[in-house]
């Protein structure tokens, strides 16, 4: 019977090749250990110095960790300070906005009063003025209704004069002023 040998596929052949190379490296390392003294000295140096190198690395990492912790605490404090400053600036901004709004509303109320006092309700139609259009959204529905029905004349009395428009509008301005907190 003839010998056939072992038939290998390429993957199994690669595995055997790697095992052969590792065995060769192991044999060379063993021979070097026995016959070449500097390899033994190198190993002795590594065994002698690695604890110090490890300790130095640990000390260095500890120092870096403390520095990072200190930096983190500084950043946290800076963040808190910035939040406090932001909140204070927000409050100042809100107060400023409120004051500007109040001032603008005061000017509007003064303008409305001035226009109403100077307006001739006998000769002109107040509902067609810019002042009325500006005021209309704040007026009570019954006052708006007074101006929407132009054929109806609202007669005043001896206290308020001939027409009831001016006193009604002035009362409305006072009511709006109270709602806006300007009184």
Give residue 76's pLDDT.
Answer: 96
Give residue 20's pLDDT.
Answer: 94
Collect the ranges in the chain with pLDDT lower than 50.
none
Which residue is associated with the tokens 């390899």? 39
For residues 80 and 39, what is the distance between their CA atoms, to the nearest angstrom?
59
Q: Could you tell me the two tokens for 179?
A: 């709602």
Give residue 183's pLDDT.
Answer: 80
Give residue 155's pLDDT.
Answer: 53
Query: Any residues with CB less than 8 A from the CB of 138 and at least 6 apart, and which?
Result: 172, 176, 179
Please report the sign of the dihedral spanned by the C-alpha atoms of residue 60, residue 66, residue 72, residue 74. Answer: negative
Residue from 134, 124, 139, 147 nearest 170 by CA: 139
For residues 176 and 4, what is the distance between their CA atoms, to the nearest angstrom?
113
Task: Report residue 139: phi and psi, to 5°.
Answer: -75, 150
Question: Domain spans of the chain?
Answer: 50-179
Residue 164 has a CB neighbour count (10 Å cut-off) of: 16
Contacts 24+ apart (CB under 8 A), 165-171: 165/121, 165/126, 166/116, 166/117, 166/119, 166/121, 168/143, 169/112, 169/116, 169/126, 169/135, 169/143, 170/113, 170/116, 170/117
Give residue 53's pLDDT.
Answer: 74
Give residue 91's pLDDT.
Answer: 96
For residues 139 and 89, what is the distance between their CA atoms, to the nearest angstrom?
36
Give residue 121's pLDDT.
Answer: 80
Secondary structure letter of residue 137 according to DSSP: G
Which residue is associated with the tokens 């052949």? 13
Give residue 3's pLDDT.
Answer: 57
Q: Confirm whether pTM is higher than 0.85.
A: no
Q: Could you tell me the two tokens for 51?
A: 């604890």
């Amino acid at each position: 019977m003839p010998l056939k040998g072992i038939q290998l596929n390429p993957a199994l052949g690669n595995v055997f090749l790697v095992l052969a190379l590792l065995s060769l490296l192991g044999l060379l390392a063993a021979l070097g250990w026995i016959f070449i003294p500097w390899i033994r000295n190198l190993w002795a140096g590594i065994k002698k110095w690695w604890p110090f190198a490890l300790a130095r690395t640990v000390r260095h990492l500890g120092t870096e960790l403390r520095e990072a912790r200190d930096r983190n605490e500084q950043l946290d404090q800076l963040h808190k300070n910035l939040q406090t400053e932001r909140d204070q600036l927000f409050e100042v901004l809100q107060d400023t906005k409120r004051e500007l709004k109040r001032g603008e509303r005061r000017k509007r109320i003064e303008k409305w009063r001035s226009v109403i006092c100077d307006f001739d309700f006998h000769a002109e139609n107040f509902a067609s003025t810019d002042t009325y259009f500006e005021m209309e959204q704040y007026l009570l529905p019954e006052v708006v209704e007074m101006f929407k029905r132009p054929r109806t004349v609202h007669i005043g009395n001896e206290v308020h004069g001939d027409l009831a428009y001016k006193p009604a509008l002035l009362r409305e301005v006072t009511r709006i002023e109270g709602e806006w907190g300007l009184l």
